[in-house]
Amino acid sequence: MRELGPAHGSPGDAGPAIPDGEAVSDERPREEWRVTHADVIVVGAGPTGLMLAAELCLAGVRPLVLERQPQLRETPKANGFNGQIVELVRYRGLLDRVEAASGRPVGPAPEAPFGGVHLDFSHLADSPLWAVHLPQPRLERLLGERASELGADIRRGHEVVGVSQDDAAVTAGVRGPDGRYRVTTRYLVGCDGPHSAVRDLAGIPFPGTTYPEVNRLGEVTLPGSVTRLGDGDLDVPGLGRLRRGFTRTDRGVFGFGSLTSGALLVQTTEDEPAGAGDDAPMTLTEFQDSIRRVLGADLPLAEVTRLSRYAFQARQAERYRDRRILVAGDAAHQFPATGIGINYGMLDAVNLAWKLAGVVSGWAPAGLLDTYHSERHFAGARALLQTQAQVALRRGQDPAARDLRELFLELLADEQPMRRMAALIAGAGLRYPMPGASQHPLAGAFAPDLTLHTGDGTTSVAELMRPARPILLDLAGRPDLRETARDWQHRVDVHTATTDHRPADALLIRPDAHVAWAAATGEPAAAAGPALREALSSWFGAPRKTAVPLTGRPA
Ligand SMILES: Cc1cc2nc3c(=O)[nH]c(=O)nc-3n(C[C@H](O)[C@H](O)[C@H](O)COP(=O)(O)OP(=O)(O)OC[C@H]3O[C@@H](n4cnc5c(N)ncnc54)[C@H](O)[C@@H]3O)c2cc1C
């Protein structure tokens, strides 16, 4: 077994190594190790790991979540999240809980930073970019409670310190509050953040770039000498008016915004040699010095409750899967812009959970689990494209750089490009490549939330997606298609409904709310039937009447 070096744990606490590739079973414990078994281990209880745990439970697999921190995280990272995951959270019926935890209604983001400029989405009708204001510790509490309610076993204070795998199993060495033990599992998912030990132990390369910008962040209150003006700007003695949002100077960028607590989140960005001071905790003096360098004067501060420093990285795991080990969330990608990490991490989890559950339960068709890498690596690459473009856009204080930003804003004056930018930031409008001949425009896309009229009343796609089961939605009274789907009725729910402005005769929707297949309006049964059968087989396995036990079969 490969183990973490002393840098990841206490010196002298490495304990005995677990032999490489040794298949471990409950019947054959080594004396130093208690051995237990779990179908799936999730390493890390951040937003990605907790979402994955809940989704696995919905898909019928009870995971073991191992989190090294003994308590729920207190230090805030994100102040909220945005993007396509907000819609998915709504599809799971969680929006009420999220709003209750947030204390604010969830809605379209009126603005978003992009490459050092502010995009104003306030005039966009039906904006695809929705935002939730919810500090990360509260999000993690909510997700943790939900995963536990659904049956996940979450163990805090349990750090994974070694991992090995062979053809049959993965073994994780764990350092827990009562000593070390090991767990065998069929699959292990590293949701253990940007410095992922799982990724490193599995030997998955994480290539990319660390940019030379250093961001310093402080949560502060201001003394009476600083006036907060009605429009959110600040009037600072000796400095004058500081506009809400970003202020560029010759030395860098200064920015601030209000928090619900009434405090301000203040940030500076300066170009410095990569990795400068990365490991040392940031001090108040360092923060004040940075503000003085950027603004050319001091900003009086009353109370400072949180200080952090971070650099931007653009990195993506070369593979999201190495046999029985997978990575998701920040362990799989790092983007050089704020505000999108949670969206992409939780969407990784939603994409992976039902596929992994299919493999563990034995019904997954060959290759299903590999589509996790192909789809989410593709999604991550799209996110890298827009966030690296932001690096180029925000770089530089000279007239050429300023003109580039001004021209960029000019190009966004019309509604259509602005809508496109909102969709890009949200990660909406992403279409996964779908197998098969039928290439309906909705195939691969996130299923639209159609209002559905049924014999029992009105419902919606969002309502039907709550249990996270696949559905075949017959929108045109097509008994031929319902008949085809009958062989999968143990796995796929069939619903008949009508909708205004019907986009297709039928939609086959996966548990992650992406459309696996769609029948064009009026598509003849001779074409639609075999295409649906192929889609059902390639996503949801063998039909019942010919089903054979698939346990142990490689995915
Ligand atoms: C200052 C700051 C502001 C941010 N603002 C935003 C924002 O506004 N919006 C947004 O979407 N994103 C934001 N982000 C990014 C966001 O916080 C991350 O994208 C998100 O936390 C990723 O979630 P994750 O679950 O993948 O990883 P993490 O949140 O890093 O969780 C990983 C978990 O794994 C645990 N772990 C690590 N190693 C082990 C081990 N060996 N064994 C067991 N457990 C382990 C860790 O303790 C941790 O709990 C911000 C980040 C920072 C630093």
Question: Which residue has the CA at smallest separation from atom 5 of ligand 1?
Answer: 78
Ligand 1 neighbourhood includes 338 CB (under 6 angstroms): yes
In the reported structure, the alpha carbon of residue 424 is separated from the centroid of ligand 1 by a whole-number distance in angstroms of 22
- In DSSP terms, 176 is beta-bridged to 179
Copy the structure tokens of residue 406: 């001004």
In the reported structure, the alpha carbon of residue 48 is separated from the centroid of ligand 1 by a whole-number distance in angstroms of 8
pLDDT at 380: 97
Q: Which atom of ligand 1 is nearest to the CA of 197?
A: 41
Cα 449 to chain centroid, rounded: 21
Ligand 1 neighbourhood includes 183 CB (under 6 angstroms): no
Ligand 1 neighbourhood includes 219 CB (under 6 angstroms): no
Q: For 336-360, b where at least 16 C-beta lie within 10 A, e where not — what string?
A: bbbbbbbbbbbbbbbbbbbbbbbbb
Q: What is the mean pLDDT of each run of 10 residues along the chain (555 residues)?
A: 51 32 37 72 98 98 97 82 97 97 92 88 92 93 98 97 95 95 96 97 96 90 88 87 86 83 86 63 91 92 88 96 98 94 98 98 96 97 96 89 94 94 93 82 96 96 98 97 95 97 97 97 94 95 66 36
Ligand 1 neighbourhood includes 215 CB (under 6 angstroms): no
In the reported structure, the alpha carbon of residue 550 is separated from the centroid of ligand 1 by a whole-number distance in angstroms of 36
Task: Please give the Cα distance from 536 to 527 (Å, whole number).
Answer: 15
Copy the structure tokens of residue 322: 């190495």
Task: Please give the Cα distance from 500 to 265 (Å, whole number).
Answer: 45
Ligand 1 neighbourhood includes 358 CB (under 6 angstroms): no
| Sheet arrangement for strand 227-228 | 227-228, 234-236, 240-242
Ligand 1 neighbourhood includes 330 CB (under 6 angstroms): yes
Copy the structure tokens of residue 382: 């799209």
In the reported structure, the alpha carbon of residue 33 is separated from the centroid of ligand 1 by a whole-number distance in angstroms of 30
Q: What are phi and psi of 181, to 5 degrees?
A: -150, 175
Question: Which residue has the CA at smallest separation from atom 1 of ligand 1?
Answer: 77
Closest CA to 554 of 367, 425, 340: 367
Ligand 1 neighbourhood includes 538 CB (under 6 angstroms): no
Q: Long-range CB contacts (< 8 A, 24+ apart) of 271-279?
A: 271/212, 271/213, 271/214, 272/212, 272/213, 272/214, 273/212, 274/210, 274/211, 274/212, 274/311, 275/210, 275/311, 276/214, 277/214, 277/309, 278/309, 278/311
- In DSSP terms, 42 is beta-bridged to 65, 189
Question: Which residue has the CA at smallest separation from atom 38 of ligand 1?
Answer: 192
Alpha helices in 412-553 (DSSP H): 415-426, 461-464, 479-485, 525-540
Say how many C-beta atoms besides its own lie within 10 A of residue 182's C-beta: 24
Model confidence, pTM? 0.90
CB-CB contact of 338 with 164 (8 Å): no
Ligand 1 neighbourhood includes 159 CB (under 6 angstroms): yes
Ligand 1 neighbourhood includes 147 CB (under 6 angstroms): no
Ligand 1 neighbourhood includes 351 CB (under 6 angstroms): no
Helix (H, G, I), strand (E, B) or coil at 276: coil
Copy the structure tokens of residue 494: 């069939």
Ligand 1 neighbourhood includes 192 CB (under 6 angstroms): yes
CB-CB contact of 277 with 324 (8 Å): no
In the reported structure, the alpha carbon of residue 188 is separated from the centroid of ligand 1 by a whole-number distance in angstroms of 18
Task: Please give the Cα distance from 96 to 463 (Å, whole number).
Answer: 14
How many residues in total does the chain contain?
555
In the reported structure, the alpha carbon of residue 291 is separated from the centroid of ligand 1 by a whole-number distance in angstroms of 26
Task: Please give the Cα distance from 59 to 532 (Å, whole number).
Answer: 22
Q: Label each residue of 51-101 as H, E or C.
A: HHHHHHHHCCCCCEEEECCCCCCCCCCCCEEECHHHHHHHHCCCHHHHHHH
CB-CB contact of 427 with 382 (8 Å): yes
Beta strand residue intervals within 299-371, DSSP E = 303-316, 321-322, 325-327, 333-334
| Sheet arrangement for strand 80-82 | 80-82, 130-133, 107-108
Copy the structure tokens of residue 148: 């536990």
Task: Please give the Cα distance from 476 to 247 (Å, whole number).
Answer: 55
Ligand 1 neighbourhood includes 66 CB (under 6 angstroms): yes
In the reported structure, the alpha carbon of residue 45 is separated from the centroid of ligand 1 by a whole-number distance in angstroms of 9
Task: Please give the Cα distance from 241 to 150 (Å, whole number).
Answer: 51
Ligand 1 neighbourhood includes 310 CB (under 6 angstroms): yes
Q: Which atom of ligand 1 is nearest to the CA of 345?
A: 26
User: Which residue's entry shows tokens 């929705």?
Assistant: 130
Copy the structure tokens of residue 137: 């510790």
What amino acid is encoded at 176 in this protein? Answer: G
In the reported structure, the alpha carbon of residue 136 is separated from the centroid of ligand 1 by a whole-number distance in angstroms of 9
Helix (H, G, I), strand (E, B) or coil at 471: strand
Backbone CA torsion sign across 122, 333, 165, 323: positive
Copy the structure tokens of residue 522: 């009026």
What amino acid is encoded at 476 in this protein? Answer: A
Helix (H, G, I), strand (E, B) or coil at 272: coil
In the reported structure, the alpha carbon of residue 192 is separated from the centroid of ligand 1 by a whole-number distance in angstroms of 8
- From residue 299, alpha-carbon distances to 217, 222, 494 in Å are 14, 9, 62
Task: Please give the Cα distance from 476 to 555 (Å, whole number).
Answer: 35
Task: Please give the Cα distance from 446 to 88 (Å, whole number).
Answer: 9
Q: Which atom of ligand 1 is nearest to the CA of 159?
A: 42
Half-sphere exposure of 128 (CA within 13 A, CB side): 19
User: What burial class does residue 275 get, using C-beta atoms within 10 Å of its C-beta: 0-12 exposed, 13-18 middle, 19+ buried?
Assistant: exposed
Question: Which residue has the CA at smallest separation from atom 15 of ligand 1?
Answer: 341
**Got the DSSP string for 521-536?**
TT--HHHHHHHHHHHH
Helix (H, G, I), strand (E, B) or coil at 443: coil
Determine the Cα angle at 462 with ends 465 and 51, to 5°.
55
Closest CA to 412 of 115, 132, 86: 115
Q: Which of 55, 342, 376 to mutate to test the pocket of ligand 1 (most atoms within 8 A of CB)?
A: 342
Q: Which of 330, 334, 350, 387 to mutate to test the pocket of ligand 1 (most atoms within 8 A of CB)?
A: 330
Question: Which residue has the CA at smallest separation from atom 53 of ligand 1?
Answer: 77
Pairing of strands 506-509, 264-271: unpaired
